[in-house]
Amino acid sequence: MEIIVQKFGGSSVANTDKLFNVCKHITKEKNKGNAVVVVISAQGKTTDELISQEKEITSNPNKREHDMLVSVGEQISVAKLAMCLEELGYEAKPYLGWQVPIITDSNFGDANIIQIKTNKIIQDLQQGKIVIIAGFQGIDKNQDITTLGRGGSDTTAIALAVDLNAQKCEIFTDVDGVYSEDPNKNKNAVRYDKISYDKMLEMANNGAKVLHNKCVKMAKEKNVKIIVKSTFKEESQGTIVKA
């Protein structure tokens, strides 16, 4: 069974039309006979909105409650994406971090993945289901919900690709690859066809949020190839991040 992990960021799933658009990428791989695991983020600016609602209450939230709140966006998006796929006639199985489970340390707000129990995922894939996993979240040894840091869904995707021994990990986003600089800020930025883990890590550490820095670190350690591509511009080949 060839397993493919596809991750879609917040702007790629911002509304119902966009959720159905994402289904095209997913079902294309599924129709080729691949086993597909999808990771998605919260829709649009949902996580930012949750944080501003929190700020209406306190500037110093209890960290456990903070993670309980900011992880909620992904619960909405995985359930909706599963419904979209089911509407299209596919069998889907959405999971929150704790349901997998994706076990993390207790570093609330910036937790690290310790272990992913993949048995339920593999069983679902064997039954032909498209598995959908909430990005950005996990559960610690005390059964408390944790989050992996802003942009952390990328890290969920890579960790799953590692543990499922996936054939490829595609990160779909709102730009068509990794550029020399943020293409939304500098129109002269050039897109890389390929980029090394080290160069990408340097860019991520300097704030190029196209990939979460922890995800690049993990991909380098485990030698997982990352493909960054556009959700909306199908003709672009994107950028391969590798050694």
Residues near ligand ADP, by CB under 6 A: 9-12, 41, 151, 173-175, 178-179, 181-184, 203, 208-210
Q: Tokens at residue 191, please?
A: 């897109």
Work out how close the CB of 33 gets to ligand ADP at its nearest, in angstroms, rounded to a whole number: 27
- Partner that binds at residue 73, options ligand ADP, Mg ion, ligand ASP, none, CB closer than 5 to 8 Å by kind: ligand ASP
Q: Is 78 in the site for ligand ASP (CB under 6 A)?
A: no
> For residue 123, how many C-alpha atoms fall within 13 Å in the half-sphere facing its CB?
5
Q: Binding of ligand ASP at residue 135 (CB under 6 A)?
A: yes
Residues 100-139: x/- map of binding to Mg ion (CB under 5 A)?
----------------------------------------
**Binding-site residue total for Mg ion (CB under 5 A)?**
2
Nearer to ligand ADP among residue 123 and residue 186 (C-beta): 186
Residue written as tokens 């391969």?
Answer: 240
Residue 47 CB, shortest distance to ligand ASP, in Å, is: 3
Q: In the bound complex, which residue of the shown chain has the CB atom lying closest to ligand ADP? A: 9
Nearest approach, Cβ of residue 203 and ligand ASP (Å): 17
Q: Considering Cα of 58, then 59, then 62, then 66, what sign does the dihedral take?
A: positive
| Min dist. Cβ of residue 42 to ligand ADP (A) | 9
Q: What is the layout of strands, in order, in the sheet containing 239-242?
A: 92-95, 130-134, 35-40, 3-8, 168-173, 226-230, 239-242, 194-196
Q: Which one of residues 95, 108, 136, 172 is an interface residue with ligand ASP (CB under 6 A)?
A: 136
Residue number, nearest CB to Mg ion: 151
Query: Minimal distance in Å, beta carbon 107 to ligand ADP?
Result: 21
Task: Check if the beta carbon of residue 113 is closer than 8 Å to that of residue 148.
Answer: yes
Among 151, 177, 183, 238, binds ligand ASP (CB under 6 A): 151
As a residue count, the chain comes to 243
The contact mask relative to Mg ion for 9-28 (x = CB under 5 A, - = no) is x-------------------
Cβ atoms of 175 and 232 closer than 8 Å:
no
Type and span of the H or E element at 63? helix 63-70
Cα torsion through 66, 69, 70, 75, rounded to 10: 150
The only residue of 41, 118, 173, 239 in contact with ligand ASP, by rule CB under 6 A: 41
- How far, CA to CA in Å, does 205 sit from each of 66, 112, 214? 24, 17, 9
Nearest to 9 by CA among 230, 239, 213, 186: 230
